[in-house]
Chain A
Amino acid sequence: MIKFENVTKIYPGMSSPAVDNLSFTVPSGEICILVGPSGCGKTTAMKMVNRLIDATEGAIFVLDEQGDMSNVLEMDPIQLRRSIGYIIQQIGLFPHRTILENIGTVPQLLDWDEARIRNRAKELVTMMNMPIDFLERYPHELSGGQRQRIGVARGMAADPLVMLMDEPFGAIDPINRNILQNEFLRLQQEIKKTILFVTHDIDEAIKMGDKICILNTGGLLEQFDSPANILAHPANEFVEDFVGADRALKRLNLVRVEEVMNAHPPLLQATQDVEQAVGFMVEQGIRFAYVVDADRMLKGYVRRRDLKGKTGWVNEFLEPAAITILIGTSLKDALSEMLVVDYANVCVVDGKNRVRGLIDTNMIHEAVIQSTAASEAEEA
């Protein structure tokens, strides 16, 4: 847990504060994103936690290993920093040290013995899906994405309860950034760290955050809430502008297809009789239907008008499905795929191409309206 209590930072010689009376709490095991335009003091706020910058007023509490909340301003900064994971952009790796030495930085400062450091490094590198022989390499021998993974591993080396991440994926190309973000989210589900994460990218904030803290120039807290609530109910005009005019679309990012799809769709069996199939479609009131085999594996689809008056098996009239949506896809991605075809509904499949449900644009629309209503009800 990280708790900011009326924290203010005024740099010497400046009249206006960089961070102004900031109060919020990051619950244990959650990711809180500090986001805002440049000059909003988000990095300053983060650096006050490990005292790279000292707060002028107020107090910051961090949950320590004994389970007590202790004020960082009363702690020895060196010990404090060693107990907090610190992850910055990949250029922060030490170029003259091997990956092993880089990962082992904090453990070495904590006087772990060599074997223990090596074991921990091996464990972390494996966790990051990288081969163990990377440990003997130097940062310049790795790609940007690999270096950033090492940066994350280095921050986690001493298994801190709290981690600070300063635009960790900022300098990486969009494709790799997406991969790294997903990997990190998966990892976070296992490790459950309390994380304060700084970014200027609202999309990243919505994607990564359990809570988002939007700061305005001068370090003013504009809104502190969950991503869904921020998108549904921006507190003021600033937040509304900051999250962008497409915030309804952004909210689609927060919902996965399996949450809104029809999980019991009308399906045809490949070995079904045509006449029977037409009867089924009339009964369901649908003009076309997806066809699966005995294992619910997607075979294609058939149109009612193609079957009318014909005899034989359904699979003789199959047409291949042009798109399917993988389970776990966000509604935004699903929608953008659906917009390019003229299907009334699209199959949601799992990794083995088994049909798990159907989704159409109406369902997506409804989901947006419902989530707005739900968060309104929550507020009331």
Chain B
Amino acid sequence: MATDLAQRQNKFWREMLNGWMSILTKPSQDTFRAQKAQSDPLKTVLGMFILGLVLGLRALAVKPAALVTGRGTEVILVDLLRMIFFTEVGFFILSLLLFIIAKGFRGIGSFLQQSYLLSLITVPLGMIVVAFLFVGEKLGLTLIAVFNPLSPAGVLGVFVILFALYGFLLLLFAMQAAHEMPASAVIYTLGALFLAWGILRIASMFIVGEENIITTEWVFIAEQWVKGTAQELLLGHLWLVAFSVSIAIVLGVTMGIFITWPSRRPKLSHLFILIPLVLFLLLWAASSGLLGEGMADQIMSAAKDWSRSLKRIDNLYFGPLLIIVAALIAKPAAVGMIMAVFTIILYALFLTGEVASDFTLYIAGIILTIPSVALFGAMIKPLGIGPFNAAFALILYAQLPILRNTYIGIKAVTPEIVEAGRGMGMTEGQLLLKVKLPMAVPVIMAGVRVSIVMLIGIASIAAYIGNDTLGRYIFEGIYRAQEKRYYAGAILVAALALAADYFLGWLQNRLTPKGLKGRRETA
């Protein structure tokens, strides 16, 4: 009878050890599935008991002061029991939380089985961690040293990371085996737990009034918001991007269309292009003094008055746009020259068509490689500092994605479809408007999306030349060595870019013709 009991006990312990060993040596879903059959709440509780004991012993070993200060053995025992109790309770609470979330993702496992499988990971890995911590502390290693790639101990950091990954992988396997759910559902389950923890942790920071990067950042942004500076800069940022992108889209899509068609001969009717060209050149000549100083003075003073009166209008929402327009008005000579140059470029591309496509895309690519600070700087002389300079640079930067995607989108329309349209008697204009452009919309919109997100980033640098964009926080932060300031700029710019990208994704989906959605390429 006694030997029987001893044998059974023997078997019980062996099974427990085998469980730990098997998941360490053969980490796979199948191992966990096999272990599911041997699930036993007693093993779970015992396993956690052992882990609690080890943790408690370590705590005592780290703080031997407790032993020295003459506390009795009972106190030590109570400490140990408390540690064991918290380990058990903590483990089961976490397991319960995971279980509830997993149920939400259609998990089908039982709580006890799941707890057993989790304990198979927690106990052996926990003990290994404790052992290493103990040894590490004895050797005088600190966490900072281990994770510093420059320190000799840094090499250990690699192992720590690998070990953590291994633990995470085991966790995935265990949850997958316990609940028979797809890996994505397991990731969501674990993610939800971490998210909940993160929210609680951050909430606790604010409740306790902890001072760290998150709380100070929050307080700073909130302060700026109450002051109204944040909104002002946000709107300034958005308007600068919106203004530049609107012009860039018109320009880029037009040029993109031009470089898809065959080259054509100039015709007499094309002479109408001279009307805007002459007007723009006149504007430039008159305001730059070529037609007499008196005239230039008159124009400039009128422009300045107009510009000033525009700037004086106090409107929170449209204020930044008015400032951009005012900056343009204040420099009629530059506006006239730029418009004239673009008119000529557009007409040239209109004539050359496809022949110039490589060249045009090449130039647009080169423009994109110019560092934005350099371009802003180079344009200070002709355009001054402020929104005019910034908008000009942003329009140039936005060209490549829009131009290239328009070109690719139109070129990607199957030749058979174009031929069908032509063969049925569509004119080239009808082909473009009714067939090519609608079919290219998704691609063009993708380019616009890339441009906008890119411009939101570049617009922050425009603060360097005196624009009221979110970049002001970044530059002020750098000059004043205020961490919270440049973090605030970075966070707000990133948030703005994400929001814009999300909105544009929605817009792209809305603009895509219904027949092109869910289309599979079938022969």
A residues bordering B, Cβ < 8 Å?
47, 50, 52, 78-83, 86, 88-89, 91-98, 105-106, 109, 138-140, 144, 154, 164, 171
Whether B424 is near chain A, meaning CB under 8 Å from some CB there, is yes
Does B515 lie within 8 Å of A138, measured CB to CB? yes
- Nearest B residue to A164 by beta-carbon distance? B423
Whether B367 is near chain A, meaning CB under 8 Å from some CB there, is no
- 4 nearest A-B residue pairs (beta carbon): A82-B425, A92-B420, A138-B515, A81-B425
Q: Of B417, B430, B516, which is within 8 A of A92 by CB?
A: B417
Cβ < 8 Å to A, chain B residues 486-520: 513-516, 518-520
Q: Of A82, A91, A139, which is within 8 A of B424 by CB?
A: A82
Give the interface centre of A78, A93, A95 by most chain B CB atoms within 10 Å: A95
Expressed in whole angstroms, the Cα–Cα distance for A89 and B419 within the complex equals 11
Does A86 lie within 8 Å of B513, measured CB to CB? no
Residues of A within 8 A of B424 (CB): 81-82, 86, 105-106, 109, 154
- Nearest B residue to A81 by beta-carbon distance? B425
Does A96 lie within 8 Å of B438, measured CB to CB? yes
Also in contact, A138 and B523, with CB within 8 A (given A52-B423, A105-B424): no
B residues bordering A, Cβ < 8 Å?
414, 416-417, 419-427, 430, 435, 438-439, 513-516, 518-520, 522-523
- Nearest B residue to A142 by beta-carbon distance? B522
Expressed in whole angstroms, the Cα–Cα distance for A88 and B420 within the complex equals 7
Having A91-B414, A94-B420, one finds 15 other A-B pairs with CB under 8 Å, namely A47-B423, A52-B422, A78-B425, A81-B423, A81-B424, A82-B425, A83-B425, A91-B416, A95-B515, A96-B438, A96-B513, A96-B516, A138-B514, A140-B518, A171-B523
Expressed in whole angstroms, the Cα–Cα distance for A97 and B430 within the complex equals 14
Does B417 lie within 8 Å of A91, measured CB to CB? yes
Residues of B within 8 A of A80 (CB): 425
Expressed in whole angstroms, the Cα–Cα distance for A106 and B420 within the complex equals 11
Interface pairs (17), CB distance under 8 Å: A47-B423, A78-B425, A81-B422, A81-B425, A88-B416, A88-B420, A91-B414, A95-B439, A95-B515, A96-B438, A96-B516, A97-B515, A105-B421, A105-B424, A138-B514, A140-B518, A164-B423
Q: How far does the Cβ of A352 sit from chain B's closest Cβ, in whole Å?
A: 40
Also in contact, A88 and B518, with CB within 8 A (given A96-B438, A96-B513): no
Expressed in whole angstroms, the Cα–Cα distance for A267 and B515 within the complex equals 60
Give the interface centre of A80, A93, A96, A138 by most chain B CB atoms within 10 Å: A96
Q: How far does the Cβ of A276 sit from chain B's closest Cβ, in whole Å?
A: 63
Does B423 lie within 8 Å of A88, measured CB to CB? yes
- Nearest B residue to A109 by beta-carbon distance? B425
- Nearest A residue to B426 by beta-carbon distance? A109
Residues of A within 8 A of B423 (CB): 47, 50, 52, 81, 86, 88, 164
- Nearest B residue to A140 by beta-carbon distance? B519
Expressed in whole angstroms, the Cα–Cα distance for A164 and B426 within the complex equals 16
Expressed in whole angstroms, the Cα–Cα distance for A94 and B421 within the complex equals 8
Expressed in whole angstroms, the Cα–Cα distance for A171 and B416 within the complex equals 13
Expressed in whole angstroms, the Cα–Cα distance for A106 and B518 within the complex equals 27
Does A98 lie within 8 Å of B515, measured CB to CB? yes
Residues of A within 8 A of B439 (CB): 94-96
Residues of B within 8 A of A106 (CB): 424-425
Expressed in whole angstroms, the Cα–Cα distance for A52 and B422 within the complex equals 8
Expressed in whole angstroms, the Cα–Cα distance for A105 and B421 within the complex equals 8
Does A88 lie within 8 Å of B515, measured CB to CB? no
Does B425 lie within 8 Å of A79, measured CB to CB? yes
Residues of B within 8 A of A94 (CB): 417, 420-421, 435, 439, 515
- Nearest B residue to A108 by beta-carbon distance? B434
Does B420 lie within 8 Å of A86, measured CB to CB? yes
Residues of B within 8 A of A164 (CB): 423
- Nearest A residue to B422 by beta-carbon distance? A52
Expressed in whole angstroms, the Cα–Cα distance for A342 and B417 within the complex equals 53
- Nearest A residue to B414 by beta-carbon distance? A91
Q: Of B416, B427, B514, which is within 8 A of A78 by CB?
A: B427
Does B520 lie within 8 Å of A140, measured CB to CB? yes
Expressed in whole angstroms, the Cα–Cα distance for A211 and B113 within the complex equals 80
Q: How far does the Cβ of A249 sit from chain B's closest Cβ, in whole Å?
A: 31
Residues of A within 8 A of B419 (CB): 52, 88, 92
Expressed in whole angstroms, the Cα–Cα distance for A105 and B424 within the complex equals 8
Expressed in whole angstroms, the Cα–Cα distance for A93 and B513 within the complex equals 15
Residues of A within 8 A of B422 (CB): 52, 81
Does B430 lie within 8 Å of A95, measured CB to CB? no
Residues of B within 8 A of A88 (CB): 416, 419-420, 423
Q: How far does the Cβ of A148 sit from chain B's closest Cβ, in whole Å?
A: 12
Residues of A within 8 A of B522 (CB): 140, 144
Residues of B within 8 A of A79 (CB): 425
- Nearest B residue to A80 by beta-carbon distance? B425
Q: How far does the Cβ of A151 sit from chain B's closest Cβ, in whole Å?
A: 8
- Nearest A residue to B521 by beta-carbon distance? A140
Expressed in whole angstroms, the Cα–Cα distance for A47 and B438 within the complex equals 26
Expressed in whole angstroms, the Cα–Cα distance for A368 and B438 within the complex equals 56
Q: How far does the Cβ of B86 sit from chain A's closest Cβ, in whole Å?
A: 61
Q: How far does the Cβ of A105 sit from chain B's closest Cβ, in whole Å?
A: 5
Residues of A within 8 A of B516 (CB): 95-96
Q: How far does the Cβ of B273 sit from chain A's closest Cβ, in whole Å?
A: 25
Expressed in whole angstroms, the Cα–Cα distance for A38 and B421 within the complex equals 24
Expressed in whole angstroms, the Cα–Cα distance for A96 and B439 within the complex equals 7
Q: How far does the Cβ of B412 sit from chain A's closest Cβ, in whole Å?
A: 12
Does A109 lie within 8 Å of B430, measured CB to CB? yes
Q: How far does the Cβ of B331 sit from chain A's closest Cβ, in whole Å?
A: 43
Residues of A within 8 A of B438 (CB): 96
Expressed in whole angstroms, the Cα–Cα distance for A50 and B422 within the complex equals 10
Expressed in whole angstroms, the Cα–Cα distance for A82 and B420 within the complex equals 12
Residues of B within 8 A of A52 (CB): 419, 422-423
Expressed in whole angstroms, the Cα–Cα distance for A144 and B417 within the complex equals 16
Expressed in whole angstroms, the Cα–Cα distance for A81 and B518 within the complex equals 32
Residues of A within 8 A of B513 (CB): 96-97
Residues of B within 8 A of A83 (CB): 425
- Nearest B residue to A105 by beta-carbon distance? B424
Expressed in whole angstroms, the Cα–Cα distance for A95 and B517 within the complex equals 10
Q: How far does the Cβ of B517 sit from chain A's closest Cβ, in whole Å?
A: 9
Give the interface centre of B420, B430, B522 by most chain A CB atoms within 10 Å: B420
Expressed in whole angstroms, the Cα–Cα distance for A89 and B427 within the complex equals 21
Q: How far does the Cβ of A315 sit from chain B's closest Cβ, in whole Å?
A: 54
Expressed in whole angstroms, the Cα–Cα distance for A105 and B514 within the complex equals 18
Expressed in whole angstroms, the Cα–Cα distance for A91 and B417 within the complex equals 7
